[in-house]
Chain A
Amino acid sequence: MTNTVTPAKQFGELRLDGVGRSFGEANALTDLSLTIQQGEFIALLGPSGCGKSTALNCLAGLLPLTHGSIWQDDKRIDMTRPERRGFGMVFQNYALFPHMSVRKNVAFGLEMRKTPSAEIKERVAEAIELVHLEDQAAKLPGQLSGGQQQRVAIARAVVLRPPLVLMDEPLSNLDAKLRLEMRTQIRRLHQALNLTTVYVTHDQEEALSLADRLVVLRLGRVQQIGTPRELYSRPANAFVADFMGYRNLLKSTISAVDGTRVVVDVSGLSVNATAMSGFSVGDACIVGVRPDDLKVVGPGATSDGLIVDGTVEVVEYQGREIVSEVRLPNRLTVTVRTEEDLHPGMRIRVAAEAGRTLAFADDNTVTRVPDLGVSPEAVAAGAP
């Protein structure tokens, strides 16, 4: 063999220009503009129905656009049929041909391209080796486990060395352990083959760990595009914050504004926060804090942001750390991640820096609501 892995056919950049797709009156995807550089790993992230699969199908050519255009360098490709685009695609349900062996499945695309049979043989063997399925090559897909089937699907897509690989929630049908393993394999494959990849997922952890850049979608609209670090530390709005693990989202009102620093009223609790958009006094907002930015502090401690006493209600053990629900005096609960040894009923003081306490415009993202908690008396009284 002359070379183990031939790099993918190259293109400079792929540009989506105002791409949109409507189904009758409903807009599944609105005005998606994005430039993908060769070799980049892009994740489209959002809850189900946010338009991420629609975007992927538009890219693949399986779904015609209703608005906008797609450009590969300076060639417009949005009218090109899927079989002529030459993009590889990995489907959520794998979509392996049940009547063909693993080897035949992987060879299918090459046969369609009229590749010489000696080359097909060599490249198929190489692709099967890449996903470690040498022993299963003669089997039918029905005889393989879910993880193995997924690897066949990946091999079938990458054997063509496509300029772009599209992956539609490829790991969502696998169990948690296999999902982690396959995640690493996909990242390794991406690096080894320098594959340009667009990856659709609703799992923010998957997106953060795999992607060079993320596109967060909500109801067909782009919320934010950025690197994992950008999205994680500076989410554009409460919706993105929710996706990025800001589990403490609290509905509040602005009570004072001083540049980017604001004072907010969280159901009676006064907190200093960093404004993520323009506010004036009296505006509704959502304050977001990540569980690991809420620190358990000593009784005499102070903070420039949020500081409050509370009662530990629920403790979840997670290895080195514990995740705990803490009830505040204003009846709200917050989630705290800490290495301290907490147990239910403890009185503790929690604090977060103002720089890590972010105030977002109220965009109807679901926030925590004050409730009475599930005390034994409440259960006895039949309250929810």
Chain B
Amino acid sequence: MSAEAVPVSAVPADPRGAWRHRMADRGIDRTLWLLLPAVIFVVALFVYPFLYGLSLSLTPGTGETGIFSNYAKFFADSYYSSTIWLTLRLAIPATLFNTLASVPFAYWMRGRFPGKRAVTTMLVVPITLGTVLTAEGLLNFLGNAGWLNRFLMLIHVIDAPLKLTYNYWGVFLSLVLSGFPFAFLLILSYTSGIDPTLERAASTLGASAWQRFMRVTLPLLAPGLATTFSLAFVMAFSVFPSALMLGNPQGEEHVIAIAAYEQAYTYYNYNYASAIAMVMGAVELLVIAAVQLLRRTFYIGTTGGKGA
């Protein structure tokens, strides 16, 4: 047989097959069906409740008119509108503290050293306890006759017990205790994603430890810090049990989640409660948007590590 006589395998043209190839090229094929359970899950447990809540919040209560009447009521009543400020006043300092305090720990722990697992476990355990247990523990620990005050009085640092419960500090400390492990774990994964040779290179170029951190590590960590802050903030902003147990839930710690709960389950005003929940979501979105905008003005580009 001569060489040029070798036939090209003669498959008849199949328009259906060609169409399938074109779709597969765009990432559309039968494996997409695997997404179905996730789609059902998201629609049933997030999209539907959200839209239902939104429509509830836009439904005026008895004797009211206008679709924004619930929102108008919220912003007109200072006892309710002040919850935004009261919650921000707790959530932002606590989140800032958790995020920033995690950086030195995570930076120090980015390499390998003996006992790393033990230290990580110790720092992370509070996350597993849940907020109610943490709040109860803190109530005992920080109370007037709690260990902390008794110890401080014993060593004569203070004469009268510090008031650390049923006020701002109780809730703040509870937010730190439950929020820090979360922020730390996230930041640790970001710091270990930064190539350690970058710092070695910086040191051969004459950068001191502080300069290496400020000029190399911190900029590369910036996107991670922004993400961590955003996630930790959302958690802190929805503070509920610790405000109820460690704060003054009718006064200075009348946080927005408590306000929504009151309306829903004390006054059975679901429409008003839904409007408060929507305001809560909007505030969270605004803060996250501000953080992302801020990070963009500081640093643009790839991170070299994960989380680009």
How many A-B pairs have beta carbons closer than 8 Å: the answer is 74
- Cα distance A113–B207 in the bound complex, in angstroms: 8
Q: Which of B198, B203, B205 contacts A160 (CB 8 A)?
A: B205
- Cα distance A108–B207 in the bound complex, in angstroms: 9
Residues of A within 8 A of B197 (CB): 91, 93, 95
Q: Which of B198, B206, B211, B299 contacts A95 (CB 8 A)?
A: B198
Q: Judging by beta carbons under 8 Å apart, are A109 and B205 in contact?
A: yes
Q: Judging by beta carbons under 8 Å apart, are B207 and A83 in contact?
A: yes
CB-contacts of B197-216 with A (<8 A):
197-198, 200-208, 211, 215-216
Q: Judging by beta carbons under 8 Å apart, are B204 and A99 in contact?
A: no
Q: Judging by beta carbons under 8 Å apart, are B299 and A99 in contact?
A: yes
Is residue A112 within 8 Å, beta carbon to beta carbon, of the partner chain? yes
Main secondary structure of the interface of B (DSSP, over half): helix
Residues of B within 8 A of A62 (CB): 200, 203-204
Q: Judging by beta carbons under 8 Å apart, are A91 and B201 in contact?
A: yes
- Cα distance A81–B206 in the bound complex, in angstroms: 9
Is residue A278 within 8 Å, beta carbon to beta carbon, of the partner chain? no
Is residue A262 within 8 Å, beta carbon to beta carbon, of the partner chain? no
- Cα distance A155–B236 in the bound complex, in angstroms: 48
Residues of B within 8 A of A86 (CB): 206
Q: How many A residues face the partner with a CB closer than 8 A?
A: 29
Q: Which of A60, A96, A97 contacts B204 (CB 8 A)?
A: A60
Residues of A within 8 A of B204 (CB): 60-62, 82-83, 85, 87-89, 157, 166
- Cα distance A98–B222 in the bound complex, in angstroms: 13
Is residue B195 within 8 Å, beta carbon to beta carbon, of the partner chain? yes
- Cα distance A113–B304 in the bound complex, in angstroms: 25
3 pairs of A and B residues whose beta carbons are closest in the complex? A98-B304, A109-B205, A95-B201
Binding site for A on B (CB under 8 A): 195, 197-198, 200-208, 211, 215-216, 219-220, 299, 301-304
Other A-B pairs beyond A160-B205, A166-B204, 20, CB < 8 Å: A62-B204, A83-B203, A83-B207, A84-B206, A91-B201, A93-B197, A95-B197, A97-B216, A98-B198, A98-B220, A98-B303, A98-B304, A99-B299, A108-B215, A112-B205, A113-B206, A140-B301, A140-B302, A142-B302, A156-B205
Identify 25 residue pairs between A and B in the complex whose beta-carbon atoms are under 8 Å apart, listed by A's number.
A62-B203, A62-B204, A82-B200, A82-B203, A83-B205, A83-B208, A85-B204, A88-B204, A88-B205, A93-B195, A95-B195, A95-B200, A95-B201, A96-B201, A97-B216, A97-B304, A98-B302, A99-B220, A99-B299, A109-B206, A112-B211, A142-B301, A142-B302, A157-B204, A166-B204
